[in-house]
């Protein structure tokens, strides 16, 4: 499978873009490959500039739950665009967006739209500090909540993939006020609160972790988070940028029935355009300017094109049978990948919920970042390259999730499984 045009463009890109990419993992360095440059997407497939076609299991890292170039989404964007692209003034579609989010996530009594998941989590953190009057936050080891300073301590996602322990340029004070505990470990969390009495503003956690690879909460873990934070007067922030509208229409909150104080959403809510949101209890959200002293603003927040795309995808996801179908496809993929590894005698674990799947190359059950790091990343790199040669586009990182979309067919999934078996046996 030739990628000569991609390689030529990559050489040009490296002259004008740091690393040749606008988001680090796309460079494919951890899997020993050069990136392919995508020319177009259609349904469950993408095509690169060399004309190679791939079954896509990245889905733009989660947003494309309906697949590429969905006609209803494109029509919604075109309709909104016919009236203008941005105004810097309120529009009615922003109100409908917030009403739709609140209906799906009752914990989000008030909602503010922003343009990225990082912006949503960064502002939720500032709001938690402003509301509580405390400075410290707690995150989990391997949890990734965007690239704001306070979150780049022991972070997952691309930070983990590239083997970076933190980030240069983060002030010592920002790191000092970020406390880290293992995911799924309530005892460590309680001990952290005891050691920092009256100082912790919030605990931020992915209720379904997606940035150390997919890791599910143990029974009682989320309930324990709620109990401990309430006892110590701290806020509980659920980062559902990945799991929101992905795990179910109501995200992790719809599965586990635990109510956070603040929630962040992203990816799917933009329908493939840059949009995200955060929200929570009314008394907390009313601390935001212009009502309160916590400042946040954004020129393109609530952009009508992104709002239109987001509202359309959410209306489609709210149709009967959608999540049942996504779960069927995810189960077919997860079961098939595990069977392929077993047939090849390769130690592997598969974690899955709904249409999110991670294949870890380890014999150790993966329940936190420490166990995720037991994975054989060199084997994953070889697997990635072999799968791409066979026409399957995987996330170029062991510590990420694959995403199935409604555009995938049973036959697409079976082709992925067959390619996995051949790759692992070969």
3-state secondary structure 355-419: CEEEEECCCCCCCCHHHHCCCCHHHHHHHHHHHHHCCEECCCCCCCCEECCCCCCHHHHHHHHHH
Nearest to 239 by CA among 352, 317, 294, 157: 157
Rounded CA separation 184/208 (Å): 11
Q: Kindly report the backbone phi and psi dihedral angles of residue 164, in degrees, each rounded to the nearest multiple of 5, phi listed first.
A: -90, 125
Q: Which value, in Å, is the radius of gyration of the alpha carbons in the chain? A: 21
Which residues form the catalytic set? 144, 239, 267
Rounded CA separation 147/54 (Å): 30
pLDDT in tens, the chain (426 residues): 789 999 999 999 999 999 999 999 999 999 999 999 999 999 999 999 999 999 999 999 999 999 999 999 999 999 999 999 999 999 999 999 999 999 999 999 999 999 999 999 999 999 999 999 999 999 999 999 988 877 877 654 555 554 445 667 777 777 789 999 999 999 999 999 999 999 999 999 999 999 999 999 999 999 999 999 999 999 999 999 999 999 999 999 999 999 999 999 999 999 999 999 999 999 999 999 999 999 999 999 999 999 999 999 999 999 999 999 999 999 999 999 999 999 999 999 999 999 999 999 999 999 999 999 999 999 999 999 999 999 999 999 999 999 999 999 999 999 999 999 999 997
> pTM to 2 decimals?
0.95
> Is it true that domain 4-69+321-425 has CATH number 3.40.309.10?
no
Residues of the chain with CATH 3.90.1150.10: 4-69+321-425
β-pairing, 136-140 with 200-205?
parallel
Residues of the chain with CATH 3.40.640.10: 71-317
Rounded CA separation 270/290 (Å): 25
List, in order, residues 6 or more apart from 15 with CB less than 8 Å away. Answer: none
pLDDT of residue 162: 47
Give ∠ CA 80-37-393 in degrees, rounded to 5: 90
Residue 290 burial (10 A CB sphere; 0-12, 13-18, 19+): exposed
* Fold for the domain defined by 71-317: 3.40.640
pLDDT of residue 154: 61
Rounded CA separation 424/336 (Å): 13
pLDDT of residue 148: 81
- Give me the numbers of helices (H) and strands (E) for the chain, helices first please: 15, 14
């Amino acid at each position: 499978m030739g990628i000569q045009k991609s390689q030529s463009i990559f050489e040009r890109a490296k002259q004008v873009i740091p690393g040749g990419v606008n988001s680090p993992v796309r460079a494919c360095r951890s899997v020993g490959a050069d990136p392919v440059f995508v020319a177009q997407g259609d349904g469950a497939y993408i095509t690169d500039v060399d004309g190679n076609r791939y079954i896509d299991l990245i889905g733009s890292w989660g947003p494309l739950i309906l697949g590429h170039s969905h006609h209803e989404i494109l029509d919604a964007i075109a309709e909104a665009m016919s009236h203008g692209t941005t105004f810097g003034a309120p529009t009615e579609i922003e109100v409908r967006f917030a009403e739709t989010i609140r209906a799906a996530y009752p914990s989000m009594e008030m909602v503010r739209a922003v343009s990225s998941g990082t912006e949503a989590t960064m502002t939720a953190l500032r709001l938690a500090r402003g509301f509580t009057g405390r400075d410290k936050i707690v995150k989990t080891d391997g949890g990734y909540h965007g690239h704001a300073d306070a979150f780049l301590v022991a972070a997952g996602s691309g930070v983990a993939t590239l083997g970076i322990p933190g980030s240069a340029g983060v002030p010592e004070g920002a790191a000092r006020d970020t406390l880290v505990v293992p995911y799924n470990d309530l005892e460590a969390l309680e001990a952290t609160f005891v050691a920092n009495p009256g100082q912790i503003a919030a605990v931020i956690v992915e209720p379904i972790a997606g940035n150390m690879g997919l890791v599910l909460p143990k029974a009682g873990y989320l309930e324990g988070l709620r109990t401990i934070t309430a006892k110590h007067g701290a806020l509980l922030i659920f980062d559902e940028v990945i799991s929101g509208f992905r795990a179910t229409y109501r995200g992790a909150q719809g599965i586990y029935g635990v109510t956070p104080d603040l929630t962040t959403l992203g990816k799917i809510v933009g329908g493939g355009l840059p949009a995200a949101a955060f929200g929570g209890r009314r008394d907390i959200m009313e601390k935001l300017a212009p009502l309160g002293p916590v400042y946040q603003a954004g020129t393109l927040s609530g952009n009508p094109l992104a709002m239109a795309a987001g509202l359309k995808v959410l209306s489609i996801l709210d149709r009967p049978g959608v999540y049942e179908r996504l779960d069927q496809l995810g189960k077919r993929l997860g079961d098939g990948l595990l069977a392929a590894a077993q047939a090849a005698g390769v130690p592997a674990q598969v974690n899955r919920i709904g249409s999110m799947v991670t294949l870890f190359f380890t014999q150790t059950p993966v329940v936190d970042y420490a166990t995720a790091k037991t994975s054989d990343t060199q084997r994953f790199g070889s697997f990635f390259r072999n799968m791409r040669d066979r026409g399957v586009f995987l996330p170029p990182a062991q510590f990420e999730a694959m995403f199935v979309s409604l555009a995938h067919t049973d036959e697409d999934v079976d082709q992925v499984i067959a390619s996995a078996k051949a790759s692992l046996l070969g």
